[in-house]
């Protein structure tokens, strides 16, 4: 059970932290326990931690501010072991060096500074720059799997969702070079379609009807009805495509023979 003075002190510090946030740090107390705080450190630019989001906890004793808190980190980071207390002069690892004048803001500032440093300490780990960068890249996705993190830091969840959406849209976009490659064959297909249409038009044009003047000439010579002339006189044209171009071949019937045959049938 926290002492009354402890609760008042932490409430006051939270209000102060909301008015003047620590750069690259977000911290909030648990809704059900003011002695348990949750924080997120944002990796500083120019360091292997750049782009990383490191989630952890601060556990204050009921006697705070007269006794120091315990500090741990949940997100794999390449600097400290996870779920283990971090050795700091501002943590319960060194109660002899604790100063009651220190606040949550000063604790978070010291933690961020110490994380960006390479000084060994109890709970620290040795990793390469590449390993730290890889962990930084995966940190937000790791944090968003934690229900408490999602509940307390919804702004980071939104950031993660936005990143996922941006990556998805980028993956769906067609590269400029590939787009050009696709447009070239499509252009050729369009030209082929136009060529086929031209063939169809030529086929229609070459389907000639029986000339009217010839029909009257036949009527005057043979004395046959007009309908018979139209029925017997036909000109058929076949058009087909060669690879080298268009070739037209017309097959004509024996007009005179057809007319004579038709005349005999009628008479």
52 in Cβ contact with 34 (< 8 Å): no
Question: What is each CA distance from 209 to 48, 238, 240, in whole angstroms?
Answer: 85, 14, 20
149 in Cβ contact with 38 (< 8 Å): yes
Among candidate residues 87, 144, 241, 267, the one labeled active-site is 87
Number of residues that make up the chain? 267
User: What's the rounded Cα separation, in Å, for the pair 82 and 62?
Assistant: 24
User: What's the rounded Cα separation, in Å, for the pair 163 and 159?
Assistant: 6
Which 8-state DSSP code applies to residue 34? Answer: E
SS3 240: strand
Give the pairing type, strands 235-241 and 70-73: unpaired
Encode 131-155 in three state secondary structure.
Answer: HHHHHHHHHHHHHCCCHHHHHHCHH
Q: Specify whether 87 is catalytic.
A: yes
Which 8-state DSSP code applies to residue 85? Answer: B
Catalytic residues: 87
């Amino acid at each position: 059970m926290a002492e009354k003075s402890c609760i008042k002190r932490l409430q006051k510090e939270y209000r102060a932290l909301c008015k003047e946030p620590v750069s690259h740090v977000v911290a909030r107390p648990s809704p059900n326990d003011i002695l348990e705080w949750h924080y997120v450190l944002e990796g500083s630019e120019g360091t292997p931690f750049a782009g990383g989001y490191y989630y952890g906890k601060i556990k204050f004793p009921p006697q705070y501010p007269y006794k120091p808190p315990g500090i741990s980190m949940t997100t794999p980071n390449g600097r400290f072991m996870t779920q283990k207390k971090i050795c700091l002069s501002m943590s319960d690892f060194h109660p002899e060096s604790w100063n009651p004048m220190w606040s949550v803001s000063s604790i978070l500032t010291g933690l961020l500074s110490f994380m960006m440093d390479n000084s060994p300490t109890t709970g620290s780990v040795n990793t390469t720059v590449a390993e730290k960068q890889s962990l930084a890249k995966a940190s937000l996705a790791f944090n968003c799997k934690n229900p408490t993190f999602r509940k307390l830091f919804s702004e980071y969840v939104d950031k993660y969702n936005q990143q996922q959406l941006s990556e998805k849209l980028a993956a769906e976009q067609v590269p400029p070079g590939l787009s050009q490659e696709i447009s070239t064959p499509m252009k050729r297909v369009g030209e082929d379609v136009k060529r086929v249409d031209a063939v169809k038009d030529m086929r229609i044009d070459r389907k000639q009807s029986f000339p009217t003047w010839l029909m009257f000439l036949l009527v005057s010579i043979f004395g046959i009805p007009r309908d018979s002339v139209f029925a017997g006189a036909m000109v058929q044209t076949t058009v087909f495509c060669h690879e080298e171009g268009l070739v037209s071949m017309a097959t004509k019937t024996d007009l005179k023979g057809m007319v004579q045959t038709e005349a005999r049938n009628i008479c």
